C-alpha cells in the first residue's frame, strides 16, 4: 500500500521526461534554414502530452522521418509531389500534394486506445499550434 503513495509523483516525472524540451520553433526561427529553391516543407507536430510514453515513428511515404514527440515539432524539406504520412501506431494515412515553396502541416493527434494518428491542418492553424512547441530536429 505504501508504494501507491508515490505513484502520482512517479507518473508526473515520467510524463515530464517524455516531453520535448528546449527552445520553441518561434525562438529558433532565425536558426531554421529557408526552404530551398524548388523545395517544399512539411512540418510534423504533436501538441499534447497525453499518451506521452508513446512516441511512434512518423513515416513519410513509408520511410521514417522522426518520432511523434509530445509538445515537439520538426520538419522535412521535400521535392514537389505526392506524399503520404502515417505513424507506426495507426492504420490512418494522410495523403496530399505539395508544390514548390509550399508549407504543409501534419498534426500528430492522440485518441484513446493508444492511437497517435496524422491529420493535415491548414497553414494558419499549423503555424499557430506549432510555434510554441519545442523545435526537435530529427536525424
Q: What is the reported pTM?
A: 0.83
List Cβ neighbours of 76 (8 Å cut-off, separation of 6 or more): 41, 42, 44, 60, 65, 66
Number of domains in the chain: 1
Q: What is the dihedral of CA 87, 90, 91, 95, to 10 degrees?
A: -40
For residue 20, the enclosing domain spans 2-135
Q: What is the pLDDT of residues 19-57, one digit of tens each?
A: 556 777 777 777 788 898 999 999 999 999 988 889 999
We report the CATH number of the domain holding residue 58 as 2.60.40
More confident residue, 16 or 100: 100
Amino acid at each position: 500500500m505504501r508504494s501507491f503513495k508515490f505513484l502520482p509523483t512517479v507518473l508526473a516525472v515520467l510524463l515530464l521526461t517524455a516531453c520535448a524540451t528546449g527552445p520553441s520553433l518561434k525562438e529558433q526561427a532565425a536558426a531554421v534554414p529557408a526552404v530551398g529553391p524548388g523545395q517544399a516543407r512539411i512540418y510534423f507536430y504533436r501538441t499534447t502530452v497525453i499518451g506521452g510514453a508513446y512516441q511512434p515513428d512518423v513515416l513519410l511515404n513509408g520511410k521514417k522521418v522522426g518520432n511523434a514527440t509530445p509538445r515537439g515539432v520538426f520538419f522535412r524539406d521535400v521535392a514537389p509531389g505526392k506524399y503520404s504520412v502515417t505513424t507506426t501506431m495507426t492504420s490512418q494515412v494522410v495523403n496530399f500534394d505539395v508544390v514548390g515553396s509550399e508549407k504543409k502541416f501534419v498534426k500528430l493527434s492522440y485518441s484513446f486506445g493508444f492511437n497517435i494518428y496524422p491529420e493535415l491542418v491548414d497553414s494558419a492553424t499549423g503555424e499557430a499550434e506549432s510555434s510554441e512547441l519545442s523545435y526537435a530536429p530529427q536525424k
